């Protein structure tokens, strides 16, 4: 496995932690993670694709090693994240990139692809998210994201992740162990908690009008492909069918053994992604 490099980039009054993979002279891919996760979620996929691509996996503000917001209602929003993404590309002198976005990362990619930033993207792969999010799924997410759990050991963190994220689908033990190490921070009393600012859920209350964005989706013309977990409660069958027949009219790949959202960490997952990239370029 290729080894990652780590950078801290000043952007929009924040410090953004980025995991870099591969040769900067090769074509570039940005991989953007989901709501309460980090760029390290893509380690397996990014390492594998770094033989052909320069891969950037940022931690969104409020997650991982990136800085937290002092103004959550204004900054923990898709619009603000999109600005960060564009500025990060400028920092790396990247005119255009391919985009792989899981959940929230997919929403950011769709927002870019439907705006004046569309020409910054070559293609878009959306992992299990659509232009609307069912309220029942939002309620489920809020049950574990809004409160900071407390753990005595790293092993407890790993067990919690396996309990909360089974919809990621089957994954190797090494995946869950790495996820545990990259998903925690130590508190003043020596215990561990999750790696994110609990206030990130403000986007579900401060900008509810942005949670439905079919008008944006209709403007996308980039080569687009959707990955869907067959058991997903976020990208439901009706939403998927509407996406398939409107906007960019994307191709669809369904992962039968996953919910929200496929981890894309297994060898067979990586093979699927390689083929999708080849088909969109």
Q: Going from the N-terminus, what domains does the chain have, and what CATH number goes with each? A: 5-280 (3.40.50.1820)
pLDDT bracket for residue 207 (50, 70, 90): low
> What are the pLDDT digits (tens) for 70-82?
999 999 999 999 9
Percent of the chain with pLDDT over 70: 97
pTM reported for the whole predicted model: 0.96
Task: Tell me the C-alpha distance between 251 and 253, whole Å.
Answer: 7
Nearest alpha carbon to residue 256 among 181, 176, 141, 167: 167
Alpha helices per DSSP H over the chain: 43-49, 72-75, 78-91, 104-113, 135-145, 154-164, 173-181, 203-206, 214-217, 237-244, 267-280
Question: DSSP string spanning 177-221?
Answer: HHHHHTSEEE-TTS-EEESS-GGGGGHHHHTGGGS--HHHHTT--
What mean pLDDT is predicted for residues 90-109? 97
State the pLDDT at residue 208.
Answer: 58
Tokens of 103: 């959940």
pLDDT bracket for residue 26 (50, 70, 90): very high
Average pLDDT, the chain: 95
């Amino acid at each position: 496995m290729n080894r990652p490099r780590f950078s801290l980039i000043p952007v929009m009054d924040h410090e953004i932690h980025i995991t870099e993979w591969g040769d900067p002279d090769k074509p570039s891919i940005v991989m953007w993670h989901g709501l309460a996760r980090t760029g390290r979620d893509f380690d397996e996929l990014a390492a594998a694709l770094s033989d052909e691509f320069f891969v950037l996996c940022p931690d969104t503000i409020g997650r991982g090693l990136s800085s937290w917001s002092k103004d959550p209602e204004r900054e923990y929003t898709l619009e603000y994240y999109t600005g960060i993404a564009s500025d990060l590309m400028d920092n790396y002198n990247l005119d255009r990139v391919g985009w792989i976005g899981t959940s929230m990362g997919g929403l950011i990619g769709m927002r870019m692809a439907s705006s004046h930033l569309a020409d910054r993207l070559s293609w878009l792969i959306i992992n299990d998210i659509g232009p609307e999010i069912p309220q029942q799924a939002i309620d489920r997410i809020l049950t574990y994201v809004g409160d900071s759990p407390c753990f005595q050991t790293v092993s407890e963190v790993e067990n919690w992740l396996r309990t909360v994220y089974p919809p990621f689908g089957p994954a190797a033990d090494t995946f869950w162990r790495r996820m545990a190490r990259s998903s925690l921070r130590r508190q003043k009393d020596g215990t561990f908690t999750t790696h994110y600012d609990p206030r990130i859920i403000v986007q579900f209350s401060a900008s509810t009008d942005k949670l439905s964005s079919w008008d944006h989706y209709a403007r996308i013309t980039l080569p687009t492909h959707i990955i869907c977990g067959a058991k997903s409660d976020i990208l439901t069958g009706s939403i998927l069918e509407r996406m398939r027949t409107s906007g960019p009219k994307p191709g669809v790949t369904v992962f039968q053994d996953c919910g929200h959202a496929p981890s894309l960490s297994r060898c067979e997952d990586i093979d699927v992604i390689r083929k999708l990239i080849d088909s969109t370029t």
